Structure 1
Amino acid sequence: MANRVLCIEIGNRMTHVVETDFKVKEPKIYKSFSFQTPDNLFKEETLADVLPFKERLDAGLEEHKIKTRKAVFVLASSRIASRDVVIPHVKENRIRTLLYANSAEYFPVDLEKYQLSYRLLDEVEEEGEQKYKLMVLAVPNEMIDAYKSLAKVCLLTLVDLDYIGNAATQLLEKNIKNDLYAAVRLEEDTTMITIVRENKIELQRTFPYGIADVVQAVQKSGHFGEDIDFYETLEKMRKENVLSLEEEEIQEDITEGFRAITGNVSRVMNFYSSNHAGAEMENIVLYGTGADICGMEQYLSDELSIPVSGESLREALPQEKGNTGDYYPLMYLTCVGAAVNPMKFRLEDEKEVAEKKKEHKQIHIEPKQFFGICVVVSLVLLLAVIPYYGYLKMGVHKLQKERSEKQYLADEYKEYNQAKTEYEKIENLYKETTTTSEGIGGFIDELEKNMPSDILVRSITSTSESITLDIRVSSKREATKIVDELSDFESISDVQVESLEETVSESNQSYVDFMVICTYVGGTADSETQNETTMNEDVESLETKQQDQTAGK
């Protein structure tokens, strides 16, 4: 019991709570439950109406007889910025200092309002030198303060925080041994896909589409009755396969609800494969709230033409004897992973640390104890210790006086050497730290000035070499104009069109989705060796490639 914690993930619709082991290699789910997240809990990442949440949490803890009060919260927000960064190979206790020293190069924001944290992804070699590859996060301070306040109101002891992208990978790395696979997390309003190769994260994307549309389609169909809410429908879908119902109208709504999910998952896998020759995805590992819906694995396997399963993760988290009732471990995978090895967030500011040290130094003595001490001291004095004590005290005082008269010289010399050593270390670290992504600020400025207001930028991904844009426009002509505009940016040395797809909706409205990779000026991508082509030639080439793939060439 002493090493157990409550891992709590607060979503837009549902809150998941798990009692599990803290920082162990093979955690167990001792107790688990979920409840509907109250409206207006957070307002712009700050606490608003917290009492309904506390009441529902307390009710769940009491119902499941959970006494653990230590807590780990899972962070999931679009305001959390993430970057992959390569730094010199330094001691682990100096990584955070190095990141803060170069933070302005990683994140174009006011970092006084953010806290940096990181996860070591890999050790790489560049130009004959060993370096670290990190996933670095910038989390708003007000978000961290909100979770600290929430824990305090709920009478919980906050022991750590973890980022949702890090939490899931803890159990994936341990239990999935395939060389190359995609892990897909299905939630009510979001879908996260992580490409893992040789047990290392290669790519991670989150899309604002989830299973909510599918559940609502089944709810509105009346298959489970007329007076049934969203969460009751979801619970029944875990026990009865409605994804293969024969009713044509329901099937059309279900297919439409899955369209955004399957489309984005397929697009990310194709994007990765096109940038890694010979890379063939073995399977998809499924987890999250939607993973335990009956028939979900088979449905996605048929739609994506690749094996989809979450069975290996289910086997890694068997149901404990005390955890009674329906058991859906894939829904709680992120909560369990957050307790394995959470990211290093600083939960106390400098003032709080100083106050705790001050309180720790204070000695509290009860009146009875003080009286006993006085009696003992009196007895010692009566035994004639005072004369000898006075003699020794005079001698010590004389020696201390002589030492203090000369001590300042030694102190100043010691401080000088320490300051000199620290300065040389920081100077060497600064010289060794390099980056090629300084053009991101200029690129964003040019993007705001030159791009038309009616385009939809669906996602932006930045590395030290380039920036990738997923864009939706109304026609191929608009796509051509946008690529031509990007080619004229002063911060960009090369523009490549990676994919282009034209879609016609049921309302006979057409739109074009395409992905471009822009190489920064000074980046490492080699654009000079490539043959120069026009945008129209790029579009024709992509269309020909897509037609060949459709024909099975």
Structure 2
Amino acid sequence: MAQVINLQAGDRISLVCRATKKGNGVSINEHFFFPTPIGTVSDGMISEPDAYAKALTQELANHGMKNVTEVNVCLASGKTATREVVLPKLKDKQLASLIKSNADEYFPVDMSQYKLSYTVIGDEEEVVASKSDGTEDKDGKAAAKTTTRSTGKQRVLIKAAPKEVLNSYVSLSQKALFHLRTIDSAQNALYQALKNVKLQGTVMYVDIGSVRMDCTFLKDGKFVMQRSFTYGGDEMIIPYIERQGMTEENYFEAFLELTNPEKNSIEKDLAEDLLSRCVSSITRAADYLRTTKNMQVDGIVLLGTCAHLPFLREAIQEQSGIDVAFIENIKETAPLVNGSADLARYLSCASCIIDSINLTPDAYLANKAKKGFTFGGGTSDSFMVPIIIAVVLVAVGVVLGLMSVLGYLSKKQELANIQTEMEQLKPAKDAYDAYISYQQDSDSLDVIKNDAGGNNKKLRDFFEEIEAKMPSDLLVMDAQCNASTVTLTCQCQDLDGVANVISDFRKFESIEITNVSVPTISLDKSETGEKTENFTITATLAPDGSAANPQTASSDGTTSDGTTDSSTTDTTTESDSSAQ
């Protein structure tokens, strides 16, 4: 849950409190004030965000508020400008557009450097009747009772604040890691706190700070006007420091002494002299109301950090002739501060949450609306966001770790299942390996079979054919065979037999004759002593399924295609010569 503080950064003294809405007002809870580091705040602007943020966070820690995540700013600055205008009654968006379009008429400055905001303070009224109520004012004139009615228009209080001042609080929120909820003007915050107070007559409320005073005039709870002055309690505090031989570093000490009746020892004449400018300004403001609006101030109420400076209340009452009281001492206003002078310092600061005019820079608001938060520049939970991010990262890490573990276990189980299946398939693998081995052996046998069956078959075919067709007068003396050829050494009785044998061989389908040697005559070594013709035939084994000798040779050596076999002819001739 976000812990929220309200902050009013003064040039000399800074106020911090926690407040909650209570009906139409606020309830002030924890609170403290501390000396603003010298040079860090100038007329409400944070000129040194780093140094001020460091001091603020340290003070928060010292007061048990170190877990603060959000801040509401109450801006008290003389650099802001206020203008009251009367405008038609319009819806909020239309009214804002009208104010923006006429801004240059309301404020003679470069409006690009300012942010505008507004608050509606009531209907415009006109006097319809006036009569004496039987009383006299302080000048002895008869007081009149007036009757008014609405004109149908509304009174609007427009505030213009320099962006430079507003952005200084954005920088502060970034340095202190706060989310910037709203920036309200101290004048508006005080008006919002007082507008529901049922205090009759015209009352002037004076919020007195160290370097400024804000005067708000209400009549029967209705807004009349506001006046501001750029000086305040320092009119007394700074001279007091000098008189006491102190330095600027002793400012806070001097402030505490002067605002504590039991400790201050300043003389009345000196006090009235030091406070004369403040007193005369308050008196002139009351006179201004009387002369411009024809209204008599019925009472002056003091509040703020320097309201209790010695002899201030008495000096104002003496010079103005108007009853002056502290806000905590009036029955109608005491509930605002629980009747406490201490809490009276914080009323403006605490009331910036009631109905803020929200001067927060547009760029900051746009960034907030776009992103939902602006980490490093104020978040809705400046400390929670990093924690949430860390938790998310840890959760993501845990999830990824679990996913990795589950993935590992899953893969491990898959591996175990695969190993089980491999064990179950081992017999099938063995059978498959045996089949592959058998197939390889079978292929090898087929190769051997083919090799064995090729040329051997050719030879077998040849010998079967020679056995079936061999001439009766042929005698095969020798046979030499290899994978492709056959060489036969033959013997016949005469050349006619040789011719017939050669002719018959040419008709064989299993061979193709490639050469025939010249016949030679030899004597038979047997007892008969007959002559024989010896010759050699070389043939090529025929391819499977084809006839080796499609041609046939005639007995005269002529083939069937009409060519002459020269080897046969020559052999015959030679044989004949030998015989002769």
Kept in 2: contact 1:118–1:137 (CA 8 A): yes
Match of 1:172 among 194, 213, 217: 194
1:239 corresponding residue in structure 2: 260
Q: How does 1:17-28 map to 2 (within 5 A)?
A: 17-21=16-20, 25-28=24-27
Matches of 1:328 and 1:5, distance apart in 2: 21
Aligned-pair CA distance for 1:161: 0.7
2:119 corresponding residue in structure 1: 119
Matches of 2:150 and 2:337, distance apart in 1: 42
Deviation string, structure 1 residues 452-489 (Cα, Å, up to 9, x no partner): xxxxxxxxxxxxxxxxxxxxxxxxxxxxxxxxxxxxxx
2:546 corresponding residue in structure 1: none
Aligned residue for 2:193, secondary structure, equals helix
Distance 1:347 1:221, change over 3 A: closer
Aligned residue for 2:109, secondary structure, equals coil
Aligned-pair CA distance for 1:129: 5.7
Gaps of 5+ in 1: 320-325, 373-553
Matches of 1:40 and 1:170, distance apart in 2: 31
Is 1:340 equivalent to 2:354 in the alignment? yes
Matches of 1:63 and 1:331, distance apart in 2: 20
Kept in 1: contact 2:166–2:360 (CA 8 A): no
Distance 1:260 1:239, change over 3 A: same
2:214 corresponding residue in structure 1: 192
Distance 1:287 1:227, change over 3 A: closer
Q: How does 1:82-481 map to 2 (within 5 A)?
A: 82-124=82-124, 130-175=152-197, 177-222=199-244, 229-240=250-261, 250-277=267-294, 279-293=295-309, 296-310=312-326, 311-312=329-330, 313-318=333-338, 328-349=342-363, 352=367, 355-356=370-371
Aligned-pair CA distance for 1:251: 4.0
RMSD: 3.7
Deviation string, structure 1 residues 325-365 (Cα, Å, up to 9, x no partner): x9611211110111221113354438626742799xxxx99
Kept in 1: contact 2:26–2:350 (CA 8 A): yes
Matches of 2:324 and 2:43, distance apart in 1: 36
Deviation string, structure 1 residues 103-144 (Cα, Å, up to 9, x no partner): 222222222222110011112268996222101112222222
Letter in 2 for 1:153: K
Aligned-pair CA distance for 1:252: 4.0
Matches of 1:282 and 1:332, distance apart in 2: 25
Kept in 2: contact 1:35–1:56 (CA 8 A): no
Letter in 2 for 1:263: S
Aligned residue for 1:123, secondary structure, equals strand
Distance 1:299 1:46, change over 3 A: closer
Aligned-pair CA distance for 1:227: 12
Distance 1:307 1:140, change over 3 A: same
Deviation string, structure 1 residues 354-405 (Cα, Å, up to 9, x no partner): 742799xxxx996959x99xxxxxxxxxxxxxxxxxxxxxxxxxxxxxxxxx
Aligned residue for 1:28, secondary structure, equals strand
Deviation string, structure 1 residues 205-236 (Cα, Å, up to 9, x no partner): 112231223234444554x9999933222212
Distance 1:217 1:154, change over 3 A: same
Matches of 2:200 and 2:215, distance apart in 1: 16
Letter in 2 for 1:88: P
Aligned-pair CA distance for 1:170: 1.8
Aligned residue for 1:229, secondary structure, equals helix
Aligned-pair CA distance for 1:189: 1.9
Kept in 2: contact 1:23–1:339 (CA 8 A): no
Matches of 1:358 and 1:45, distance apart in 2: 26
Aligned-pair CA distance for 1:196: 1.5
Kept in 1: contact 2:237–2:254 (CA 8 A): yes
Distance 1:283 1:160, change over 3 A: same
Aligned residue for 2:302, secondary structure, equals strand
Aligned-pair CA distance for 1:266: 1.1
Distance 1:304 1:71, change over 3 A: same
Aligned-pair CA distance for 1:243: 8.0
Distance 1:90 1:226, change over 3 A: closer
Matches of 1:145 and 1:227, distance apart in 2: 28
Aligned residue for 1:175, secondary structure, equals coil
Matches of 1:261 and 1:219, distance apart in 2: 18
Aligned-pair CA distance for 1:166: 0.4
Kept in 2: contact 1:243–1:251 (CA 8 A): no
Kept in 2: contact 1:14–1:35 (CA 8 A): yes
Q: How many residues align?
A: 357
Kept in 2: contact 1:167–1:334 (CA 8 A): yes
2:532 corresponding residue in structure 1: none
Q: Report which stretch shifted further, 43-52 or 7-16.
A: 43-52
Letter in 2 for 1:235: L
Q: How does 1:540-551 map to 2 (within 5 A)?
A: none
Matches of 1:344 and 1:227, distance apart in 2: 34
Aligned-pair CA distance for 1:13: 1.0
Kept in 1: contact 2:10–2:41 (CA 8 A): no
Kept in 1: contact 2:49–2:171 (CA 8 A): no
Aligned-pair CA distance for 1:276: 3.6
Q: How does 1:516-531 map to 2 (within 5 A)?
A: none
Matches of 2:259 and 2:161, distance apart in 1: 35
Distance 1:128 1:267, change over 3 A: closer
Kept in 2: contact 1:183–1:193 (CA 8 A): yes
Aligned residue for 1:65, secondary structure, equals coil
Aligned-pair CA distance for 1:253: 3.0
Gaps of 5+ in 2: 127-148, 375-392, 404-580
1:429 corresponding residue in structure 2: none
Aligned-pair CA distance for 1:300: 3.0
Kept in 1: contact 2:115–2:361 (CA 8 A): no
Distance 1:221 1:46, change over 3 A: closer
Distance 1:80 1:216, change over 3 A: closer
Distance 1:147 1:216, change over 3 A: closer
Letter in 2 for 1:60: E
Letter in 2 for 1:64: H
Letter in 2 for 1:86: V
Kept in 2: contact 1:186–1:289 (CA 8 A): yes
Aligned residue for 1:27, secondary structure, equals strand
Aligned-pair CA distance for 1:5: 2.7
Aligned-pair CA distance for 1:314: 4.3
Matches of 1:85 and 1:176, distance apart in 2: 26
Distance 1:275 1:327, change over 3 A: closer
Matches of 2:349 and 2:48, distance apart in 1: 24
Letter in 2 for 1:266: T
Matches of 1:70 and 1:129, distance apart in 2: 42
Aligned-pair CA distance for 1:9: 0.7
